[in-house]
Structure 1
Amino acid sequence: MLAEPQMLLTVLLVFMFAGTVKGVVGLGLPTVSLALLLLVSDLPTAMALLLVPSFVTNVWQALSRGDGEAGQTARVWRRVCYFMLPATLMIWLGGQALLYVDFTYLTRLLGVLLILYGITGLAGMRLDINRLSAGWHSPLAILVGSINGVLTGMTGSFTVPGVMYLQALNLSRDELMQAMGMLFSLSSLGLAISLQGNGMLTVENGVMSVAGLLPAMAGMFLGQKIRRRLSAEAFKKALFIALFLLGLYILI
């Protein structure tokens, strides 16, 4: 673990970069910040530090993607509520692993999830849930949401298999961004409750997490400016490659 001034500077730089990534491609702040923080801290600390920037920026994303269309937020929620509820509630169950399982194994599990996320992103793998009969939609949503919640509690990663499930719903781009904002903000809240219940959310980490909010927001504005001059698809490809390599490094 770095000394406190070095750790604070690292946190500020990590969230500036992660916010920039989010500004360019619309996602990645929790995943990027978790992966980078894990290089200088243990897993529970990294999970605690991402809470405030992830929650605030994703609540903003969840509530601001309607582009003036009345009722879009409510419509998106109705589409994803059977997934979102277990994805949030089951975080507590996954969080119990932090009390009983060696952090080394959980960190390696995170590495595996990052590798899977990078591979599926690079391959452009997309499922189509709409091809299933209607009777399977709700049970599948509950199952995938439960798995996502347990993995979030164990590793702090919100993305696998949750983002892949949301992509499989064939939502419009704005609806998908809004749905991911809902997932990441609710997961941040559920993770905060889980870490607090396990006694792993310290005042020091809470203060550093709050400090990371301003650079994350500044990074988002910077990323939005970069997006106008850069191919978002090319940047996203680079992001998936970086996450794959980070996952491999963490796993090894």
Structure 2
Amino acid sequence: MDATNCSIITRSIFAVQHDKQCYRYIMEQLLTLITPTEFVICLGLALLAGIVKGVVGFAMPMIMISGMGSVIAPELALAALILPTFVTNGMQSLRQGPAAAWESVKRFRIFLLVGLVMLLLSAQLVTVIPVSLMLAIIGVPITAFALAQILGWKGTLPEGTKAGRKLEVAIAAFAGFIGGMSGVWGPPTVAYLTALGTEKREQMRVQGVIYGLGAFALTFAHISSGVLNLTTGLFSATMIIPAVLGMKLGGMVQDRIDQAAFKKATLFVLFIAGLNLLRRAFF
């Protein structure tokens, strides 16, 4: 072995040792924020969130932020959902291929643009606005909408009209605003798509596109806000595997249900999510 090869091997060994030391340091920092028991609970919640998302196309952030927020700090729960949300939404949006995803982007371009701008702006308010107020703002209209639909209200929204565009902008702004603060922008988006009467496969795809772009923006927004750093980023990365596994399992169920069953499941999840948000807001 010549001197050059020896030098390369030596540098590689030191690099590996350095990486191990960095990893060990990050893990030590993480364990100051969360116990092993809490970590296992979070893995289970990520799996459950993935299953529900696989069936109805949303609710992963809601389940993770509400469930994990009950056992760990809210900021850590918010960080935990960012990477698995980003990965699973990418899978969901591309399930029918890039061409179909691009058509969804074009159809809902106004919703996407307005929502992303509001998400980036509101992300900086995550440590300013009280959590209880934020949860109430999300929970009240979503619970009311889901309950009304379950009880038989058939209210639909116009699409392509001037009034429809104004409503689209308003709902997108609201979804983006609460999404930047909480990581939960699904409920108003789902309520909007449901009220439009969107077909099952298209709704799943559209949700994946909207949430995927939102998750991309949320990742960089919370790198800037400080919520996502090396320590919390590692924690978030560990949530990807159970989330993806859960989504695969839920997708098997989703493929076997018809449009009516899909809508009922969507409204049921919306209603339960809304009630849970109100519980956390007021109790």
Indicate if the aligned counterparts of 2:101 and 2:209 stay in contact, CA closer than 8 A: no
Q: Look up the equivalent residue of 2:156 and give its one-letter code.
A: D
> Which amino acid in structure 2 is aligned with residue 75 of structure 1?
E
Separation (CA, whole Å) in 2 of partners of 1:2 and 1:113:
34
Q: Distance in 2 between matches of 1:168 and 1:242?
A: 18
Query: Unaligned 5+ residue runs, structure 1?
Result: none
Where does residue 88 of structure 2 map in the other structure? 57
* Structure 2: stretches of 5+ with no match in the other structure: 1-31
Q: CA deviation at 1:233?
A: 6.4
Choose which of 222, 243, 246 in structure 2 pairs with 1:216. Answer: 243
Mapped to 1, the partners of 2:86 and 2:153 lie a distance apart of 27
- How has the CA–CA distance of structure 1 residues 214 and 175 changed in structure 2, closer, same or farther, with 3 Å as cutoff? same
- The farther-off stretch of 35-44 and 235-244 is 235-244
- How much does 1:89 deviate? 1.7
| Structure 1 counterpart of 2:60, one-letter code | L
Question: What is the number of equivalent residue pairs in this alignment?
Answer: 248
Q: What's the counterpart of residue 26 of structure 2?
A: none
Specify the alignment match of 1:205 in structure 2: 232
Q: Match for residue 157 of structure 2?
A: 129
2:16 alignment counterpart: none
CA spacing shift, 1:50–1:249, aligned 2, 3 Å: same
- In the alignment, residue 35 of structure 1 is paired with which amino acid? S
Please say if residues 51 and 248 of structure 2, whose CA atoms lie closer than 8 Å, have aligned partners that are also in contact. yes
User: How does 1:1-252 map onto structure 2 within 5 Å?
Assistant: 3-65=34-96, 71-112=99-140, 115-116=143-144, 119=147, 122-123=150-151, 127-130=155-158, 134-226=161-253, 236=266, 239-251=269-281, 252=283
Asked if the contact 1:114–1:244 (Cα under 8 Å) also holds between the matched residues in 2, the reply is yes
- How far did 1:37 drift? 1.4
Identity of aligned residues (%): 25
Is the CA contact (8 Å cut-off) linking 2:83 and 2:219 kept in structure 1? Answer: no
Which stretch shifts more, 110-119 or 133-142?
110-119
RMSD of the alignment, in Å? 3.0
Distance in 1 (CA, whole Å) between partners of 2:264 and 2:157 is 27
Relative distance call for 1:46 and 1:173 in structure 2 (3 A) is same
SS of 1:100's partner is coil
The alpha-carbon distance between structure 1 residues 134 and 108, as it changes in their structure 2 partners (threshold 3 A), is: closer
